[in-house]
Structure 1
Amino acid sequence: MHYTAAGFSGTARPVTGTTPATPAAAAPAAATATSPAPATGATPAARPASDGPRRVRLTVSRVDPWSVMKLSFLLAVAIGIMTVVATAVFWTVLDGMGVFTEVNSLVESIVGKESPVDVLQFVEFNRVVALATLIAIVNMVLITALSTIMAFIYNLVAAMVGGIHLTMTDD
């Protein structure tokens, strides 16, 4: 059976177990399970018992680059938001503990009171969050571009070697 769903296409073959070929063939077996045998004396065909969960072998032969690009962009946006929020929280914790003022006083004690270096000026909240936002935007562009390129490369390689083979079960 060949299928295409959500930008993925592949081939499915049953590995073990048997299933009816058509839905119409499954209907008489389902009807006999709940209704008594016919009065004519004919016995219904018994369905073989399965030995466990049904297993299906699938092959991911192609990945749609457009869907990979959309998904990777949305994931990169989520990662970017997490980066900016985590940076703001981390800065707030460090500032609340007085780390920046301690580092500034350490630099002043080493270099002298009239030091041209002011650590507090470099680690202002607005600067740190702006830098985190810039890094998040660059990461969004890179993650989206690299994921899309990797989808194209996967399609080329899968055309040559057949793709990724998966075996799925219904536990």
Structure 2
Amino acid sequence: MPGVTPKAGGGPRRVRLAISRIDPWSVMKLAFLLSVAIAIMTVVATVVFWSVIDSLGVFDKIQTFVTDAIGEETNFNVMQYVEFERVVSLSTLVAICNVVLLTALATIMTFLYNITAALVGGVHMTLTDD
């Protein structure tokens, strides 16, 4: 076998390989699935974080601080800006944008790797069967 270097004494074989091309379609599928998983984790983490902050009374303390700083005559309400639906909607929007961007970026990087690997030969690695 070309590239196979058997060790003396029947030890593990070592194979030197080069990754000279990566299939962009498989990278796109994998990147999409991983970015969807990251998006779900982002939304769930946002919901948990908001719930913890709300249950600790942080928003009420911020409202009290703002009312003391600005005065009673203003009708500024902190919860108007950080209400649950608004925060989750923003988190979902960011997650969707991340899915699109990460999938596109991974696919573009695959094409760039293929072009570069055609010029320099790719990434070389040695595998053994221990």
* TM-score of the superposed pair, with normalisation by structure 2: 0.94
Counterpart of 2:3? 13
Q: Deviations over 1:96-123 (max 9, x none)?
A: 1000110111011000112242111111
Q: Deviations over 1:23-82 (max 9, x none)?
A: xxxxxxxxxxxxxxxxxxxxxxxxx622x3221111100000011100000000000000
Q: Deviations over 1:134-154 (max 9, x none)?
A: 000000000000000000000
Larger Rg: 1
Matched positions, count: 130
* 1:15 Cα offset (Å): 3.0
Which of 83, 107, 120 in structure 2 is aligned with 1:148? Answer: 107
Counterpart of 1:169? 128
Distance in 2, matches of 1:69 and 1:116, equals 49
Which of 97, 105, 108 in structure 2 is aligned with 1:138? Answer: 97
Distance in 2, matches of 1:94 and 1:61, equals 49
Is the partner of 1:91 in helix, strand or coil? helix
Runs ≥4 in structure 1, deviation > 3 angstroms?
none
Distance in 1, matches of 2:93 and 2:108, equals 23
The structure that is strand-richer by fraction is 1
Q: Where does structure 2 lack aligned partners over 5 or more consecutive residues?
A: none
The structure that is helix-richer by fraction is 2
Among the aligned pairs, what percent are the same residue? 59
